[in-house]
Amino acid sequence: MIVSDAHLGPANPPEAFLRFLARVPDLGGHLVVNGDLFDFWFEYRTVIPRRAFPVLSALDGLVRAGIQLTVTGGNHDRWGGRFWRDQLGAAFHPEAAQLELAGWRCTVLHGDGMNETHLAARVMHTVTRWPATVAAFRWLHPDLGLRLVDALSGGLARQTRQGAILERAAAAQAAWARRFMEREADVDVLVMGHTHRAALETLAAGRWYLNPGAWCEGNGYALLTDAGPVLRIFPGG
């Protein structure tokens, strides 16, 4: 199972996602969260954001039940670290992950910063990757840091999540995916997120570009089956 762009937080409560997590053992044995699980996540050395607790508790229950969990970083939650491994037993990849899912060789990455069509997004994705930016944010008290992010993220989201901007981003991402798959002959499935637009494109026999869409906009996810990827909608959102 692959899910992306849940953006859980004040604007996207976790109830539907928690119901999805409760069904995960019936759907498969490996859950991949491909970026932006939370609308903001920053791993301090000794604290975590308290509003993430219900989802983290559910993920911990899945891992304890034998579900394999892989998390990749997105532009809203790339700043993870040892917490995912040490406290949850998950594999965390700040950038891309190379996985075998249902026998298919997959490259999984969120996709931000690859082909941004909006200037504000390009600047933000560059600045938030700088080690100096991350180090400076770590010195802020968590209450202040989270309040600052909440204040800034709404305005940026309104700019970058407009329909026309997302459509251009989706087209640019699909073109990038085709070029990537032409270069990388050993990859069967390229999985991306970020554009909030679901996509499943067959590029050749046994080779696909897949975007499961944004969970926060319709409860979309994807399954990797023996026959290839399938887009799904979780019912009863």
Using pLDDT thresholds of 50, 70 and 90, give the confidence band for residue 226: very high
Residue 104: both structure tokens together: 């298919």
Q: How many domains does the chain have?
A: 1
Mean pLDDT of the chain: 87
**Burial grade of 139 (CB within 10 A; 0-12, 13-18, 19 or more):** exposed
Residue 214 scores a pLDDT above 70: yes
Residue pLDDT, tens place only, 37-77: 998 888 887 888 888 999 999 999 999 999 999 999 988 88
What is the DSSP track for 78-134? -B--HHHHHTT--EEESS-EEEEETTEEEEE---TTSS--SHHHHHHHHHTT-HHHH
For 135, the domain range is 2-233
| pLDDT in the model for residue 32 | 98
Span 139-168, pLDDT tens digits: 778 777 777 777 776 555 544 566 677 888
| CATH, residue 185 | 3.60.21
